[in-house]
Amino acid sequence: QVQLEESGGGLVQPGGSLRLSCAVSGSIFVFINMGWYRQAPGKERELVARITSSGSTGYADSAKGRFTISRDNAKKTVYLQMNNLKLDDTAVYYCTAGTPPSYWGQGIQVTVSS
């Protein structure tokens, strides 16, 4: 069984930064692709960033140049560094495991507001 636990969300002003973390339980972490999705009120859930088991990354156009996904296999943790946050980044962010996702975290709120 794989469990994902997100942390690091909160309230930030436009232009600010946050780093989300996702701790993964289970021994499959090093073999599995990871991702971050988000869902804003009234909008569909969308993929923000993904990282393969070998470290290759991909980003939504809205995240390119501002967000960085990374992973620490020793700590079984995936991160999402978010810089220059905008109002439109306000959403619940979900950590996922697998492609397509087989496991989802419970979600964590990120609010960008002045």
Q: What is the pLDDT of residues 58-97, one digit of tens each?
A: 999 999 999 999 999 999 999 999 999 999 999 999 999 9
Q: So what's the pLDDT on residue 32?
A: 87
Identify the burial level of 72 via C-beta atoms within 10 angstroms of its C-beta, where 0-12 means exposed, 13-18 middle and 19 or more buried: exposed
Cis amide bond preceding 100, omega within 30: yes
Q: What is the pLDDT of residues 14-60, one digit of tens each?
A: 999 999 999 999 777 777 899 999 999 999 999 999 999 999 999 99
Q: So what's the pLDDT on residue 2?
A: 86
